[in-house]
């Protein structure tokens, strides 16, 4: 998850971004061309080809649907990287002035890309589009009243579990984290070679979602002064819980998405996966032999009956400031995430839970994902928890530094038996130091 890139920002630009971020409780204004500027480009004459960077499996089927009905605006799809790595490639491409027209961006990465001018304001081309999203969803891509992306999906954290193995070992689906810890110990007793789950020190996304569920707010701002609270009480509660499970050997320690983890998921060594609602699309590649053996339930709660969950992932479709055809690119981004046929195809191919409000009532959501034929109410379960999914009220301008700090320091603590609380302190200090270096005021 390590991402390196140049930081060519002056302190004044950083402070301006901080002020805008504070005003919106989301993010600062970008330095790229705005759609309302005289320099903004309207629809082109003649045929247009757009480049689209995206990492979703089977997105080619969705793009093919667009290309078949839009002969004058053709989209060429490529998958150069995913997540943070794609962000780094976007920044590098922007510095070379050869970025794509369109790119998938996770919500937490969007503020930094806006403040660096990598993605552009598409407000003027999305006036009809924005009416199809509720306010909390639209807030993830709207800064200073300007739209910088069209939301694609929401991804509440849920508990995915092997229903067959739970039955075999006589396990109950845990409703609280205390029950989860108890069942994790039961697994080690009844099946000593198996684990209820693993602790992933290599991917900060799931840990961030768990911190959100616990009530953490890693970044906030008042005026132009920031507060950073990565090592606050809520996050340390999460860290201490998992340190206990790791310390007594109750959970595995290998990273998710590694070859070893894939094997363990496929052969039943691991019985649960704490993941976003997009998990069914990934399980087919991770554990192909387990189709029909998984089920989904709400994430365990800290207090019985509390419906809160966190979020892992969720993305928007953005138009870059390098695009020579922003009007057409914005048209595709709107179609991709609001057109019934396009959203239906994404549910079918990618198992997204739609960000667009009308998309959550599409007929396809009455049927489960192909990998979950045993759970016909799959999307009903997602729909129930989605309203109580918490994100941070705002994301900081240096998320990549924070995420890299998580990976580096938690990996060291995991392997050495070191303190997770200490790792959080180190991430806190590194994140604050980086923000100050960039010119932000941190109080």
Per the domain annotation, does 384 fall within a domain? Answer: no
Domain termination site, one of 366, 386, 406: 366
Q: What is the pLDDT of residue 57?
A: 85
- What does R_g of the chain's alpha carbons equal in angstroms? 22
Per the domain annotation, does 379 fall within a domain? Answer: no
Query: What does the pLDDT look like over 243-290, one tens digit per residue?
Result: 999 999 999 999 999 999 999 999 999 999 999 999 998 999 999 999
Q: How far apart are CA 323 and CA 145, in angstroms?
A: 22
Per the domain annotation, does 412 fall within a domain? Answer: yes
| 208 shares its domain with 233 | yes
| 36 shares its domain with 109 | yes
Question: Which of 28-42, 109-123, 330-344 comes out lowest in average pLDDT?
Answer: 28-42
Q: What is the pLDDT of residue 10?
A: 29
Q: What CATH number corresponds to the domain at position 204?
A: 3.40.190.10
pLDDT band per the 50, 70, 90 thresholds, residue 19? very low
| 240 shares its domain with 302 | yes
pLDDT band per the 50, 70, 90 thresholds, residue 313? confident
Per DSSP, which regions of 92-251 are E strands?
102-106, 142-143, 146-147, 150-151, 157-162, 219-222, 225-228
Query: What does the pLDDT look like over 325-384, one tens digit per residue?
Result: 999 999 999 999 999 999 999 999 888 999 999 999 999 999 999 999 999 999 999 999
The number of residues making up the chain comes to 443
| 129 shares its domain with 238 | no
| 212 shares its domain with 140 | no
Mean pLDDT of the chain: 89
CA distances from 367 to 27, 55, 282, 348, 351 (A): 37, 25, 18, 10, 11
Residue 435: pLDDT over 50: yes
Residue 104: pLDDT over 90: yes
Are 48 and 74 within 8 A, CB to CB?
Answer: yes
| 129 shares its domain with 239 | no
| 215 shares its domain with 301 | yes
| 110 shares its domain with 196 | no
Per the domain annotation, does 207 fall within a domain? Answer: yes
Structure tokens at 217: 């707010």
| 226 shares its domain with 188 | yes
How many domains are contained in the chain?
2
Which residues on neighbouring strands pair with residue 228, listed in sequence order? 219
Residue 177: pLDDT over 70: yes
Per the domain annotation, does 150 fall within a domain? Answer: yes
Domain termination site, one of 366, 383, 402: 366
Per the domain annotation, does 58 fall within a domain? Answer: yes
Please compute the mean of the pLDDT values over residues 72-93 and round it to a whole number: 93
Residues 6+ apart with CB under 8 A from 188: 194, 195, 249, 250
| 185 shares its domain with 206 | yes
Q: What is the pLDDT of residue 43?
A: 66
Are 356 and 340 within 8 A, CB to CB?
Answer: no
Q: What is the pLDDT of residue 144?
A: 83
Residue 29: pLDDT over 80: no
Per the domain annotation, does 338 fall within a domain? Answer: yes
> Interior CA angle at 69 toward 67 and 73, to 5°?
50
- Find the domain containing 256 and state its range: 157-311+394-442
Per the domain annotation, does 1 fall within a domain? Answer: no
Please compute the mean of the pLDDT values over residues 12-26 and round it to a whole number: 36
Q: What is the pLDDT of residue 198?
A: 98
Which residues on neighbouring strands pair with residue 301, listed in sequence order? 176
pLDDT band per the 50, 70, 90 thresholds, residue 41? low
Name the nearest CA neighbour of 98 among 83, 125, 78, 84: 78
Domain termination site, one of 351, 366, 381: 366
Q: How far apart are CA 205 and CA 225, in angstroms?
A: 26
Residue 41: Cβ within 10 Å count: 15
Q: What is the pLDDT of residue 84?
A: 79
Are 395 and 107 within 8 A, CB to CB?
Answer: yes
Residue 165: pLDDT over 70: yes
| 40 shares its domain with 99 | yes
| 276 shares its domain with 347 | no
Q: How far apart are CA 330 and CA 121, in angstroms?
A: 10
């Amino acid at each position: 998850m390590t991402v390196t890139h140049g930081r060519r920002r002056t302190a004044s630009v950083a402070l301006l971004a901080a002020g805008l971020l504070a005003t919106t409780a989301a993010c600062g204004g970008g330095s790229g061309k705005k759609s309302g500027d005289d320099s903004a480009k309207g629809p082109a004459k003649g045929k247009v080809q757009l480049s689209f960077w995206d990492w979703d499996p089977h997105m080619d089927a969705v793009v093919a649907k667009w290309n078949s009905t839009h002969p004058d605006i053709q989209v060429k799809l490529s998958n150069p990287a995913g997540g943070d790595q794609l962000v780094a490639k976007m920044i590098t491409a922007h510095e070379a002035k050869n970025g794509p027209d369109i790119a998938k961006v996770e919500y937490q990465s969007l503020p930094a890309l806006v403040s660096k001018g990598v993605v552009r304001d598409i407000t003027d081309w999305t006036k009809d589009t924005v009416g199809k999203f509720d306010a909390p969803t639209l807030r993830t891509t709207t800064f200073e009243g300007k739209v910088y992306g069209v939301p694609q999906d929401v991804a509440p954290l849920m508990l995915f579990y092997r229903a067959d193995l739970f039955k075999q070992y006589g396990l109950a689906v845990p409703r609280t984290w205390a029950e989860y810890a108890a069942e994790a110990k039961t697994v080690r007793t009844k099946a000593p070679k198996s684990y209820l789950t693993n602790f992933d020190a290599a991917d900060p996304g799931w840990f961030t979602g768990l911190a959100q569920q616990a009530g953490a707010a890693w970044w906030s701002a008042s005026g132009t002064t920031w507060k950073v609270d990565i090592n606050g009480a809520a996050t340390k509660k999460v860290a201490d819980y998992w340190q206990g499970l790791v310390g007594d050997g109750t959970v595995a320690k290998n990273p998710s998405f590694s070859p070893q983890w894939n094997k363990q998921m496929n052969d039943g060594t691991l019985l649960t996966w704490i993941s976003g609602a997009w998990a069914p699309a990934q399980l087919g590649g991770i554990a192909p032999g387990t189709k029909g053996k998984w089920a989904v339930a709400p994430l365990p709660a800290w207090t019985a009956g509390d419906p809160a969950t966190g979020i892992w992932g969720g993305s928007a479709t953005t138009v870059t400031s390098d695009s020579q055809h922003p009007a057409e690119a914005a048209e595709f981004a709107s179609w991709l995430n609001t057109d019934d046929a396009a959203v239906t195809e994404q549910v079918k191919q990618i198992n997204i839970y739609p960000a667009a409000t009308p998309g959550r009532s599409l007929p396809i959501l009455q049927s489960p994902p192909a990998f979950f034929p045993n759970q016909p109410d799959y999307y009903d379960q997602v729909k129930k928890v989605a309203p109580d999914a918490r994100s941070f009220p705002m994301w900081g301008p240096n998320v990549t530094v924070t995420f890299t700090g998580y990976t580096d320091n938690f990996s060291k603590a995991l392997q050495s038996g070191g303190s997770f609380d200490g790792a959080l302190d180190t991430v806190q200090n590194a994140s604050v130091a980086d923000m100050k270096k960039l010119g932000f005021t941190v109080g």
